Structure 1
Amino acid sequence: MTFDKLLATLRAIACGAAAALLTTAPAAAASWPTRPITIVVPYTAGTSMDTLARIIGPKLSQKLGQPIIVENRPGASGNIGTGYVAHAKPDGYTLLMTVITFVMNPQLHKSVPYDPLTSFTPIGRVADGALVFAVNPGFPAHTLTEALAAFRAHPGKYAYASPGNGTPQHLAMELFKLHTGVDIMHVPYSGSAGAITDLLGGQVQAMILPANTALPLKQAGKVRVLAAAQQQRIPVMHDVPTLAESGVHGADVSLWFGMMAPARTPTGIVERLNHEINQILAMPEIKASLDKQGLTVAPDTPKEFGALIASDYARWTEVIKKAGIKAN
């Protein structure tokens, strides 16, 4: 099956799931909520997802008139918490704050306790985090074009770091390699700290990393940022061109964050949550708070978020299979 046919099939499944929601009886939604709501974060406290849930939670509590509890259920690359919500009662009282790894994990692990297209009802995207392509200042390249020339002139000589096999940074670089044809060795670390330390020390020459992490390092001259891995330039790094501006097309990565509910959650509840969350994201203080985290507000509809999930699931399935990637 070609990629286009796979994507069309996945979109049809996603649209079918969304259509099924419309047949859900509205009775439960009419009286909802009458008790506290839990937002499950499938990663540890202090991660971007956890920060998003705790920034949005108090505002959502005010709008819905019920307490919002943020519960961290980390483990197995997010699969434990995600599986917990997938099997929760679809009544609007158990929600999931997730990230792009939601669509990556099913292809990286032998089994996961959920299906990204059928186990959940999308509520909406919340924010995007920008990624950048950076190199050690000692690397002989000041532009992405020069970096590609160096990689091609010395295949296998240079190495790039990632926080581990199957992480978004790893997959983003493998996508970059597929679109450029360069041969650069992957060195996985057990977390970002060691990877960044060795990038600064020159033990590895390149890395894709979050923009908010790269910004102070760039300002201090500790890394050279050559490209933004998204469609638009990053406001705080306006001097850095995008991959497309540097001649690399199709390798953009949206590090999105979004809210999900178990499948068959009543459509009235989903629409109410989407409306209230989008109203919260429009607040200037929320935008300012996310800016400090290196995140950009990205409100959309359940249908739009569902289409993004289906598209990215197809895309990363192809990348993972072509690159032969397996999780740690």
Structure 2
Amino acid sequence: MTFDKLLARLRGVAGAAAVTLLALAGTAPARADSWPSRPITIVVPYTAGTSMDTLARIIGPKLSQKLGQPIIVENRPGASGNIGTGYVAHAAPNGYTLLMTVVTFVMNPKLHKSVPYDPLTSFAPIGRVADGALVFAVNPRFPAHTLAEALAAFRAHPGKYAYASPGNGTPQHLAMELFKMHTGADIMHIPYSGSAGAITDLLGGQVQAMILPANTALPLKQSGKLRVLAAAQPQRIPVMDDVPTFAECGVHGADVSLWFGMLAPARTPAGIVDRLNREIKQILAMPEIKSSLDKQGLTVAPDTPKEFAALIASDYARWTEVIKKAGITPN
């Protein structure tokens, strides 16, 4: 081999090595001190118009201003949120693909035969963003004006009355099953394919009770179409301060946290997670953001990555137990 051919061959090998190094650099984890350098995507695993989607689109522009990069909200609905959630779980842990989710995140693994993520190991929790209040309501023709009277009716006539939910395994369904476990109420479950049909039949008296979001119940309560008997949370709801909590009605252990939060793929650098948490906390402290969430029936609820991780773990254990005890089978 001549010297010129040898030199050309060495140059070819060096070039190939350089290409390989560049490719590896492209897949290397992002460094917190150089992040972000391009647009960030927040994946919402449900359709547009849901509370998660609204939250992402309210927070997104403010986060974009703080980080100096565009924030893209991408809806990836399907399979009760599992498609979009699985997509983020398997995304590169570089801070450019995030997930805005809801408490169903910890319910789905026990409600489906297979899910593409593990709620405890597939993600790096960034922080809780907001809470949505749930209330226990009955049709006005149901013979109860207090929760105690409703429980007395359920116990006096086991299996006679029915409650509605938007579907098997929804938070409203599990919240009512949790309520039944702590009160001994014997009331039949009627699942619907969405909230609209469930609420229509509740108003019509085909079913007698339902646990539903406070912002949905408020106008129906004000018009006299629903009777709201209790709030399923530790504190009274400001826009319904005349409605007592479960605890005030003597029901303990049935409070439900309908939380919304943001996560990143597991192994995302701690520096990126901490910065996102810090920036989102500052956004949630803005009066205009609080006002926007109030109109959606949501309350700002910022916490730390560690606190959010603890909430995920405790709720995963709690709802796993409820699903098992209630005999709810995977879809």
State the TM-score, normalized to the length of structure 1.
Answer: 0.92
Are positions 1:311 and 2:314 aligned together?
yes
Residue 230 of structure 1: aligned partner: 233
Measured after TM superposition, the shift of residue 45 of structure 1 is 0.1
**Inter-partner Cα distance in structure 1 for 2:186 and 2:330:** 21
Deviations 1:49-74 (A, max 9, x none): 00000000000000000000000000
Q: Which amino acid aligns with 1:90?
A: P
**Inter-partner Cα distance in structure 2 for 1:292 and 1:165:** 28
Asked if 1 retains the 8 angstrom alpha-carbon contact of 2:29 and 2:93, the reply is: no
Residue 112 of structure 1: aligned partner: 115
Deviations 1:78-118 (A, max 9, x none): 00000000000000000000000000000000110000000
**1:1-328 maps to which residues of 2 (within 5 A)?**
28-326=31-329
**Inter-partner Cα distance in structure 2 for 1:285 and 1:170:** 33
> Unmatched 5+ residue regions in structure 1?
1-24
Measured after TM superposition, the shift of residue 325 of structure 1 is 1.0
Measured after TM superposition, the shift of residue 182 of structure 1 is 1.0
Asked if 2 retains the 8 angstrom alpha-carbon contact of 1:165 and 1:327, the reply is: no
Provide runs of 4+ in structure 1 moved above 4 Å. Answer: none
**Inter-partner Cα distance in structure 1 for 2:284 and 2:90:** 28
**Inter-partner Cα distance in structure 1 for 2:322 and 2:188:** 17
**Inter-partner Cα distance in structure 2 for 1:74 and 1:27:** 27
Measured after TM superposition, the shift of residue 326 of structure 1 is 2.9
Asked if 2 retains the 8 angstrom alpha-carbon contact of 1:26 and 1:267, the reply is: no
Q: Which amino acid aligns with 1:206?
A: A
Q: Which amino acid aligns with 2:323?
A: I
**Inter-partner Cα distance in structure 2 for 1:315 and 1:179:** 13
User: Could you say what secondary structure the match of 2:262 adopts?
Assistant: strand
> Unmatched 5+ residue regions in structure 2?
1-27
Q: How many residues align?
A: 304
Residue 4 of structure 1: aligned partner: none
Change (3 A) 1:44 1:27: closer
Q: Which amino acid aligns with 1:101?
A: T
Deviations 1:268-302 (A, max 9, x none): 00000000000000000000000000000000000
**Inter-partner Cα distance in structure 1 for 2:329 and 2:191:** 12
**Inter-partner Cα distance in structure 2 for 1:74 and 1:170:** 21
Q: Which amino acid aligns with 1:96?
A: L
In our comparison, the structure showing a higher alpha carbon Rg is 2
**Inter-partner Cα distance in structure 1 for 2:30 and 2:198:** 52
State the TM-score, normalized to the length of structure 2.
Answer: 0.91
- What percentage of aligned pairs have identical amino acids? 91
**Inter-partner Cα distance in structure 1 for 2:138 and 2:329:** 25
Measured after TM superposition, the shift of residue 327 of structure 1 is 5.1
Measured after TM superposition, the shift of residue 27 of structure 1 is 6.8
**Inter-partner Cα distance in structure 2 for 1:58 and 1:326:** 41
Q: Which amino acid aligns with 2:318?
A: R
Change (3 A) 1:65 1:82: same
